[in-house]
Amino acid sequence: MAPPAESGKRILGILKIVYTDAMRAPPSVDPDLLRAFVTVAEELNFTRAAERIGRTQSAVSMQIRKLEEILGGRLLDRGRGEAVRLTAHGKYLLSRSYDLLSINNEIWSRFREPEIAGEIRLGTPDDHALEVLPDILRRFSDAHPAVQISVTCASSRNLVPMVTSGDLDLALLSEGAEPENAAVALLWRGRLVWATSAQHEPHLRDPLPIAVSTGKCAWREMAVRALEAAGRRYRIAYSSESHIGNLVPVIAGLAVTLTVPGFLPGGARLLGPGEYGLPELPEYGIVMLKGEAGQRRSVEALEAAIIEAFRERAKVRGAGMSPGQAAQTDAA
């Protein structure tokens, strides 16, 4: 016996309601609440955070509580006095907040600022090009689609004359490679680390086989000085103009090399401080040099995007970075 028509209509109506509820979008997160949370997370202090935002401490506390209510989880724990620490949920949200706020800023810039167009010529050593630049260039291109960027990969010593001659607008360099008294932006400074094979043990050999850059190179000099000061026997087994070239024998298990903490290709791994008796390496900095054409709005926009990207990485990852190493402008 078939069900009454009226009953069938009710069932169909219930199905429509369930389907609609399942497709309903989740609540959105107000960027202002995220900014307040990020500021508190960076300062680990409500009073200092309120001063940075320009609001009262109670107003900032209310923003954090509202955000916790929306997300349904505790983000911050208060300790003694005004001390604050991040919960597990808070640490996760902090890492994602930078991405969300960056996208929010890009959208506003794209629609509120006059369109930026033109060509930018950027120079960088290959290690920075592989690890840092892909995400920066993608985000910048999304925000400024009318700008064309050409990238030249070369050593710092070869990039400097290209900037000074006007062949490049911007260049990422090893700190110390810039011309004397040049105005540069400090992007990152941290301690270099040793890298070895993930499957082999070249770090146990005596003398230690190392892979370093050819010619006069700051990293090569740092490695040699550290090994000689520690009395560790070594031999330069491989050398290449590029950092990527030096990682090839490392992956093959034929040598160790030095690098910055962070990205490593598959087959290589970092060695911890003092691991297997390898000496501690000195600090190293990455700076950005701007050419005379750097006053163009397109160049200034990319310069700001690169500085902000390094600042975000320093705050989120903190790998090998000492306090206060967020990107900063040394000179305008």
Q: Count CB atoms within 10 A of the CB of residue 317.
A: 12
Smallest Cα–Cα separation from 52: which of 63, 67, 65, 36?
Answer: 36
User: What percentage of the chain reaches a pLDDT higher than 70?
Assistant: 82
pLDDT band at 332 (very low <50, low <70, confident <90, very high): very low
Q: Write down the pTM of the prediction.
A: 0.61
Query: How long is the chain?
Result: 332
Displacement of CA 33 from its chain's centroid (Å): 23
Q: Count CB atoms within 10 A of the CB of residue 279.
A: 17
Mean pLDDT of 189-205: 93
pLDDT band at 330 (very low <50, low <70, confident <90, very high): very low
User: DSSP state, 10?
Assistant: H
Region of poorest pLDDT, from 12-16, 71-75, 134-138, 188-192: 12-16
pLDDT tens-digit series, residues 252-302: 999 999 998 876 788 999 998 788 889 999 998 899 999 876 558 889 889
Q: Walk me through the domains of the chain, giving residue ranges and CATH numbers.
A: 31-110 (1.10.10.10), 118-189+285-329 (3.40.190.10), 193-281 (3.40.190.10)
Mean pLDDT of 171-196: 89
Question: For residue 312, what pLDDT is reported?
Answer: 77
State the DSSP string of 66-97: HHHHHHTS--EEE-STTBEEE-HHHHHHHHHH
Question: For residue 142, what pLDDT is reported?
Answer: 79
Of 207 and 219, the structure prediction assigns the larger pLDDT to 207
Statement: residue 74 has pLDDT above 70: yes
Mean pLDDT of 34-56: 87
Question: For residue 324, what pLDDT is reported?
Answer: 32
